[in-house]
């Protein structure tokens, strides 16, 4: 299995491989390169017969701070609008890789796990949280619905009521209720449709801009 990643560490101890998201300066926020590397490592672990268990964790004081909002901000500021379906397909490949892994996948969570980082942990079979772990389904804070399968996994893990409490606004409610009656693939498709609408809102752009400029967000409901 390849180990020379830029944003990931890979360590194998006998039959257990530990994949460490390694951008501690930004709390392991997921940028495109890390997503590609993590996906490659997960898929390689699935096929590697010397590996019988996968541990997924983050370097430094956090598990992961979600999507890299600096990268998001430059995409929004550029001339090429984000192609939501292509963008989400990359996350879905990772989530399906974890969910279909033919051996146990354990998320070892220290510090913050938020947004897509939390939903990556939710796709794992087991989560082991340190005393300082903080799990935040923070998509609403940036005007998005939980993607990476969070609308499917979270209600199944903690119940619909608590999942809504962690995440609720209108599109999230739709995603979580409908996802109770459909399979993961169908839920990922629904998440893509709803996220397409959410990405187009002024509130989403405002929230990303507010984060980048370290100022309070002003939502307008648009």
From residue 7 to residue 26, the character string flagging contacts with ligand T3D as x (rule: CB under 6 A) and all else as - is -------------------x
Scanning the structure block, which residue is given the tokens 């979270």? 154
Q: Is 183 a catalytic residue?
A: no
Count of other CB atoms within 10 angstroms of residue 45: 25
CB 184 to ligand T3D: min, Å: 17
Q: Which residue is nearest to ligand T3D (CB)?
A: 115
> Mapping DSSP to helix (H, G, I), strand (E, B) and coil, where does residue 190 land?
helix
Residues 36 and 38: their CA atoms lie apart, in Å, by 6
Which residue is catalytic, options 147, 183, 204, 213?
147
Determine, following the binding rule CB under 6 A, whether residue 171 of this chain makes contact with ligand T3D.
no
> Mapping DSSP to helix (H, G, I), strand (E, B) and coil, where does residue 36 land?
helix
CA dihedral sign of residues 86, 127, 153, 202 = negative
Which residue is catalytic, options 68, 87, 92, 204?
92
> Mapping DSSP to helix (H, G, I), strand (E, B) and coil, where does residue 194 land?
helix
Q: Is 87 a catalytic residue?
A: no
| Tokens at 20, concatenated | 């460490």
Closer to ligand T3D by Cβ: residue 17 or 171: 171
Binding site for ligand T3D (CB under 6 A): 26-27, 29, 65-70, 87-88, 91, 112, 114-116, 138-139, 141-142, 144, 147, 211
- As annotated, the active-site residues are 92, 147
């Amino acid at each position: 299995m390849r180990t020379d990643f830029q944003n990931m560490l890979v360590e194998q101890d006998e039959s257990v491989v530990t994949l460490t998201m390694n951008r501690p300066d930004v709390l392991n926020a997921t940028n495109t390169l890390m997503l590609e590397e993590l996906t490659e490592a997960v898929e390689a672990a699935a096929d590697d017969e010397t590996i019988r268990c996968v541990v997924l964790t983050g370097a430094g004081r956090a598990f992961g701070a979600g999507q890299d909002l600096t990268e998001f901000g430059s995409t929004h500021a550029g001339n090429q609008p984000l192609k939501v379906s292509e963008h989400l397909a990359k996350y879905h490949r990772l989530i399906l890789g974890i969910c279909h892994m033919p051996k146990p996948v354990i998320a070892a969570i220290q510090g913050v796990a938020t947004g897509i980082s939390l939903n990556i942990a939710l796709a794992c079979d087991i989560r082991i949280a340190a005393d300082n772990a903080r799990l935040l389904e923070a998509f609403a804070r940036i005007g998005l619905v939980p993607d990476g399968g969070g609308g499917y996994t979270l209600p199944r893990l903690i119940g619909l009521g608590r999942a809504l409490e962690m995440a609720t606004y209108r599109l999230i409610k739709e995603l979580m209720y409908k996802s109770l009656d459909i399979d993961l693939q169908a839920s990922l498709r629904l998440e893509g449709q709803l996220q397409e609408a959410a990405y187009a809102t002024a509130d989403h752009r405002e929230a990303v801009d507010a984060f980048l400029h370290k100022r309070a967000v002003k939502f307008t409901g648009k």
